[in-house]
Amino acid sequence: MGSITRSFANNIGSSGTLVASAVTNATVEDVTAFGTAPSPATLVLISTQTASSSANISFTTGLDSTYDEYIFKFINIHPATDNAIFQFNMSTDSGSNYNVTKTTTFFRAFHKENDTSTGLGYETAEDLAQSTSFQNLAVEIGNDADESVSGSMQLFNPSSTTYVKHFLSTFNTYHYDNITMQHTSAGYGNTTSAVNAIQFKFSSGNIDDGIIKLYGVKKS
């Protein structure tokens, strides 16, 4: 066994890893180059909107070909009315109309505060099949002072003129009957036109309070 191989072997511990003494300033100085680690996806904040008794929150700028993926973050969205449904729709005409045809799915899991009931299941009443209606993102949200809904939604390649517009969303709701409820929805806007605006609202009543942030995922 050569001297270099023998020297290296002597620095292998019983667990098969290098012992600490094998790595010194001298050994690092002998390295001529380090490999390049892949860069993690970087979020770029595009805009922030804060609701204040708002009928809706609409993003009519910022959705373009700059990024292939966009992420919306929803922070403590509080409804003015009890038992509210938080919804969204897309636009291909810069917000003149929010009526993109969608096919979607919707699941939810819940756990009551007093531990009397739990559940997980598909909700057929919350999905859409080739409908231009607003898609439900979170349902049965309470409007007590400490109740709200928070979550996120991804929108993929909205400026494409070739493919449909996929979305994924996850929300957690403080249910009006003291339940934590997770909602997961997904689907696609069935259009090959570029989606360039998006609107969020409650099924009834205003958005009393809350923050929505729009991020772009930096291209590699």
pLDDT tens for each residue of the chain, 220 residues long: 555 555 555 666 665 665 666 656 555 566 566 565 555 569 999 999 999 999 999 999 999 999 999 999 999 999 999 999 999 999 999 999 999 999 999 999 999 999 999 999 999 999 999 999 999 999 999 999 999 999 999 999 999 999 999 999 999 999 999 999 999 999 999 999 999 999 999 999 999 999 999 999 988 6
State how far the Cα of 70 lies from the Cα of 218, in Å rounded to an integer.
Answer: 9
Q: pTM surpassing 0.95?
A: no
Where in the chain are the domains?
Answer: 43-217
State how far the Cα of 42 lies from the Cα of 71, in Å rounded to an integer.
Answer: 11
Q: Which two tokens stand for residue 148?
A: 């709200």
Give the per-residue pLDDT at 34. Answer: 58
Kindly report the CATH number that applies to the domain delimited by 43-217: 2.60.120
Alpha-helix residue ranges (DSSP H) falling in the chain? 3-9, 25-29
Contact 171, 91 (CB under 8 A): no
Residue whose pair of structure tokens reads 């204040």 in the numeric block: 52
